Chain A
């Protein structure tokens, strides 16, 4: 077919500007944040002030009496419409509003509804609650054996088959223990000439989307519409329907633009509360968190990683043992999946015959943790690449040379047994070496005696979350214009544009002419969620299949309408001929689920644990002020294997954006807790990177690669540049001033104190 003979440019690989650009720069893009409905009530949440306690009483009378307050609800009210009001993707552990006990400071206990948000806020301050305080646990390692138990009984959601064995387990904080065994680690360590063992820790941080979480639920006769800033509309629909005991078709979930997500707006967050409050009140209810309350809603796992390696006399890794503890906070959210899906990459992109991994998802009395850009991978790479650097230095081998001897190449199997196909670990490593002129040892020297130059690098990898399904619909109108219906959420990553490019490539139109229908579960088909850099691959395939389906149907129609194989026609000619006027549609449907084989529950082995691998690395050059510990990043180089980029420019923005976000988590971001209370829940005291924190130079390199089973050779990219940032900086600091930091964030004070300790040790003080 030759629909648009004049259009010779390929749509794939073209840096199409974001389709929604004009709306965004003019302030007219729609976000749930903007949405107002007649009769709408604003919700204000009253939250727990203790980390762990039994609720003795909740007094809402003063709030209820306040002028302008329409309703005040507690967990008991919620139970009148949802008898078992617990939700969550992995465990049904999260009550809509607290019932019987509270599990962390900040847990929602009651909600006030009023037409004026200021009234709701004021009334919430009049609520009081009494608790019988229980012993609390905050540290992930202590949680393994703590007497303080966060949940009396584990309640797996049943969504994931590999959690079912935990049902009914009592008196434990271990939400999931994941184990992998490959080869014979005991024998491996016995053969080793050198054994190295280290512990690394990461701090709890938060996503900080600038559009704070927001949901507006709109009850109707026997349906409910949920407008929500969510990355997973299909999941929200299923989970709300389950809670209410309704069929899916009575719950409609709509998602306009998202003001950032990064994993914060995944699965189910405010939706259950908004839905229950709206149904109880019989009015639309908007739950809109102020910045502060996001810190009580979802965070990134703090972690402890104990890693041990055995090396032979040639610097070859013979055995590795990984023990990872994930601080999941009070509700499991998706933490158990982080524990497993990221856990199996804990040994790093290295070819090691003998590996053991024990990875634990722990409940603690902290705000809950879930997915955050990288899904656990940045915590792991931080540890294994710092560890790798230490080993190389101790053995007197150049860190890049040491990696060359040990990386996974040529389809060799990774720890799970799945081969590293289309995984350009070596190309990423070599590109970093090249960009940094590593071998020629180009080192800047400062004239200032208080400054020291250092350089460091790190590489990491990630599997895709599988098996997951995506469905797309391509709708060709009678004038030939094309609409794409999909439930992928464009939260800034540019998926609308990339998906339009795929449709455009197949249907031979311009990407700019494809219209995207944003997620609306009444119209857009199922998609597992927008997470884990899965959309380009999974939804990309579904969209490709839908467009191909539409194209095939158009060609069939052309045949039926008497066009010969060589005829030149436009779709509108077909419709006109068939219906006698501008009428009708052609609808193409595409469904995609990649190949996947569950790992053996005994040893974690599988020959197809992921449909694709993401490889990323970072090189850093920095300068340390030896008198204060301050350091400035002069140059940051992000290198990625992302297959063939669909839209090079958007891809580059994703790389530098991801690396900057991880730079914040590396250098200064940290949730500070005092007896479970977050003490810096605001942008005044939780500082995120600003424009002055951007390194003097950021370079983004895409290695030449092709994902052979990906749509047009592409694969995901949203997280790849987060992998190497933290260890690259720590390794560069070591290179500069000879101190090794093992706990994030790498603050000037931490650098300074480590230097002072080293001096003290050197001078025998």
Chain B
């Protein structure tokens, strides 16, 4: 891992310019916790790392606009999200998820933008933000565009971000009375990466489920929207039987992978249980309010 260039552009524009190359050995570095691991294990040998740390000043603000949209700068550390009062008030699931996301030191260094751009299906943040209908604002040589977090992933460690494109911020819409839950299942130690992550967001009206978002991660090659299960729930009364069925449908539609966390057969069974439990938990939250 010797001999690479470490550059620290002062502006986003300069960073984009430095990253606008076909060379796969040129990559951005934000918190660095994931990239450093890849470098140390020899998976990634950079020729140039573009450190975004100097952008932290301009791109780590957490703000709320008058329509209730929460904006989180991409260079915001996960710890800053964890401890933000604004986030606690407007997206209370995020600080809750942080408590079991990696560890304190990683959260102190890792950034929201980095955690989304990395593309590792074992990350907790993507399904959570997807369930919250969040969008990333990506800035690239051709300008700015908005990408729903739900559509950010093209495959295993692969995003839809284009050459030179950097996530500038994340926008989380108002909750509109929805309740959101993330359930993380580990199969080895408690502090392990998830074997399965399930995120859901539910909104009720006139006794039926009107707003339904359901995502699975970790057990899958990339974060996956559980569309059939969502459709089964939408417009129906949230009774125990329905939730059970949704879990079963989710287990049928999701493509899980065998890995060190467990066999595919086991993880399919986990999906059915954890989807049902996540839905229950979200509804329970709703009825407590």
Binding site for B on A (CB under 8 A): 118-119, 122, 125, 627-628, 630, 668, 672, 679-680, 682, 684-685, 687-690, 692-693, 747-749, 752-753, 756
- Beyond A628-B274, A692-B190, 16 additional pairs, beta carbon < 8 A: A118-B1, A119-B2, A125-B42, A627-B273, A630-B185, A668-B187, A668-B188, A682-B41, A684-B37, A687-B188, A687-B189, A690-B189, A690-B191, A747-B188, A749-B262, A756-B269
The residue in chain A whose Cβ has the minimal distance to the Cβ of B269 is A752
Q: How far is the CA of A125 from the CA of B2 in the complex (A)?
A: 13
Residues of B within 8 A of A672 (CB): 260
Q: How far is the CA of A276 from the CA of B192 in the complex (A)?
A: 40
Name which residue of chain A comes closest to B266, CB basis.
A749
Closest to A680 in B: B260
13 residue pairs bridging A and B, Cβ less than 8 Å apart: A628-B185, A668-B189, A672-B260, A680-B260, A682-B41, A688-B189, A692-B191, A693-B190, A693-B191, A747-B188, A749-B262, A749-B263, A752-B269
Output the least CB separation between A689 and chain B (Å): 6
Q: B98: shortest Cβ distance to chain A, in Å? A: 15
Asked if B187 contacts A679 (CB within 8 A), the reply is: no
Chain B residues, Cβ within 8 Å of A685 = 260
CB closest chain-A residue, reference B103 = A690
Known: A122-B2, A752-B269. A693 touches B189 (CB 8 A): yes
Chain A residues within 8 Å of B37, by CB: 684
Distance A628 CA – B185 CA, assembled complex (angstroms): 10
B178 at the A interface (CB under 8 A): no
Chain B, residues 256-287, CB within 8 Å of chain A (1/0): the string is 00001011001001100110000000000000
Docked CA distance A692–B100 (Å) = 11
Q: How far is the CB of B143 from chain A (nearest CB, A)?
A: 38
Question: With the chains together, A753 CA to B267 CA distance in Å?
Answer: 11
Interface residues of B (CB under 8 A from A): 1-2, 37, 41-42, 185, 187-193, 260, 262-263, 266, 269-270, 273-274
Minimum CB distance partner of B267 in chain A: A749
* C-alpha spacing A747/B262, complex, angstroms: 9
Contact of A748 among B42, B187, B260 (CB under 8 A): B187
B122 to chain A, nearest CB (A): 10
Q: Kindly state the separation between the CA atoms of A679 and B273 in the bound complex, as whole angstroms.
A: 29
Picked from B42, B260, B266, B274, the residue with its CB within 8 Å of the CB of A752 is: B266
* Set A679, A688, A693, A753: member contacting B260, Cβ < 8 A: A679
Enumerate chain A residues within 8 angstroms of B262, measured Cβ to Cβ. 747-749
Roughly how many angstroms separate A630 CA and B262 CA in the complex, as a whole number?
Answer: 13
Q: Note all chain A residues with C-beta closer than 8 A to B273.
A: 627-628
Given contacts A680-B260, A692-B191, contact A118 B41 (CB under 8 A): no
- The smallest C-beta distance from B178 to any residue of chain A, in angstroms, reads 26
Does the CB pair B189–A692 fall under 8 Å? yes
CA distance A518 to B192 in the complex (A): 38
- Complex Cα distance, B192 from A692, in Å, reads 10
Inter-chain contacts of B192 with A (CB < 8 A)? 687
The smallest beta-carbon distance between B174 and chain A, in angstroms, is: 34
- Interchain CB contact (< 8 A) of B266 among A119, A668, A690, A753: A753
Q: How far is B266's CA from A688's CA once the two chains are assembled, in angstroms?
A: 22
Q: Measured between C-beta atoms, what is the minimum distance from B89 to chain A in Å?
A: 28
Write the chain B residue with the least CB distance to A747: B187
Give the interface centre of A628, A672, A682 by most chain B CB atoms within 10 Å: A628
A464 to chain B, nearest CB (A): 33
Give the docked Cα–Cα distance between A748 and B267 (Å): 11
Task: Give the top 7 A-B pairs by smallest Cβ distance, nearest first.
Answer: A692-B190, A668-B188, A687-B189, A687-B188, A749-B266, A627-B273, A690-B191
Residues of chain B within 8 A (CB-CB) of A752 are 266, 269
Q: In the complex, what distance in Å separates the CA atom of A627 from the CA atom of B248?
A: 13
Chain B residues in 8 Å Cβ range of A753: 266
User: What's the Cα separation between A145 and B219 when bound, in Å?
Assistant: 40
User: Are A690 and B187 neighbours in the complex by a CB distance under 8 Å?
Assistant: no
Q: Cβ of A689: which chain B residues have Cβ within 8 Å of it?
A: 189
Bound: A749/B109 CA distance, A: 34
Which chain A residue shows the least CB distance to B1?
A118
CB distance A628 to B270 under 8 Å?
Answer: yes
Q: Which residue of A is nearest B185, CB measured?
A: A628
Given A627-B273, A749-B187, A752-B269: A118 and B260 interface contact (C-beta under 8 Å) = no
Q: How far is the CB of B270 from chain A (nearest CB, A)?
A: 6
Q: Which chain B residues lie closer than 8 Å to A627 at the CB level?
A: 273
- Whether B190 and A690, one on each chain, are in contact in the complex, defined by CB atoms closer than 8 angstroms, is yes
Please indicate the chain A residues that have their CB under 8 angstroms from the CB of B191 in the complex: 687, 690, 692-693
A540: min CB distance to chain B, Å = 36
Minimum CB–CB distance for B177 against chain A, Å: 28
With most chain A CB atoms within 10 A of its CB, the pick from B2, B185, B191, B266 is B266
Beta-carbon nearest neighbor of B100 in chain A: A692
Of chain B, the residue at the smallest CB distance from A690 is B191
The complex places the Cα of A690 from the Cα of B103 at a distance, in Å, of 12
Residues of A within 8 A of B42 (CB): 125
Which among B41, B185, B188, B260 has the greatest number of chain A C-beta atoms within 10 A?
A: B188
Give chain B nearest CB distance to A63 CB in angstroms: 15
Complex CA–CA separation, A613 to B285 (angstroms): 56
Q: Report the separation of the CA atoms of residues A565 and B88 in the bound assembly, to the nearest whole angstrom.
A: 79
Q: Which residue of B lies closest to A679 (CB)?
A: B260
Q: How far is the CB of A294 from chain B (nearest CB, A)?
A: 15
| Complexed CA–CA distance, A672 and B260 (Å) | 8
In the bound complex, residues from chain A placing their C-beta under 8 Å from that of B190 are 690, 692-693
Best-buried of A688, A690, A749, A753 by chain B (most CB within 10 Å): A749
Contacts of B266 in A (CB 8 A): 749, 752-753
- Please give, as numbers and ranges, the residues of chain B lying within 8 Å of A749 by CB-CB distance: 187, 262-263, 266
A211 to B260, alpha carbons, bound, how many Å? Answer: 25
- Nearest A residue (CB) for B196: A628
> Cβ of A693: which chain B residues have Cβ within 8 Å of it?
189-191
Closest to A116 in B: B2
Residues of B within 8 A of A747 (CB): 187-188, 262
Bound CA–CA A693/B186 (angstroms): 12
Q: Which B residues touch A682, using CB under 8 A?
A: 41
CB-CB under 8 A from B189, the residues of chain A are 668, 687-690, 692-693
How many angstroms between the C-alpha atoms of A28 and B191 in the bound complex?
29
A749 to B42, CA, bound (A): 32
A125 CA / B266 CA spacing, docked (Å)? 38
What residues of chain A lie closer than 8 Å to B188, measured between beta carbons?
668, 687, 747
Which residues from A are CB-within-8-Å of B193?
684
CA distance A118 to B266 in the complex (A): 42
Which residue on A lies nearest to B274, using beta carbons? A628
Complexed CA–CA distance, A118 and B45 (Å): 13
Q: Which residues of B contact A630 (CB under 8 A)?
A: 185
In the complex, the chain A residue whose C-beta lies closest to that of B37 is A684
Query: Min CB distance, A691 to chain B, in Å?
Result: 8
CB distance from A734 to the nearest CB of B (A): 20
Name the CB-closest residue of B to A688: B189
A628 to B251, CA, bound (A): 14
CA distance A739 to B187 in the complex (A): 19
Are the C-beta atoms of B187 and A118 separated by less than 8 Å? no
Instruction: Determine the chain A residues whose CB is within 8 A of the CB of B2 once the complex forms.
Output: 118-119, 122
Residues on A with beta carbons closer than 8 Å to the beta carbon of B270: 628
B41 to chain A, nearest CB (A): 7
Contacts of A125 in B (CB 8 A): 42
A692 to B184, CA, bound (A): 15
| CB of B2 to closest CB in A, whole Å | 5
A689 to B190, CA, bound (A): 8
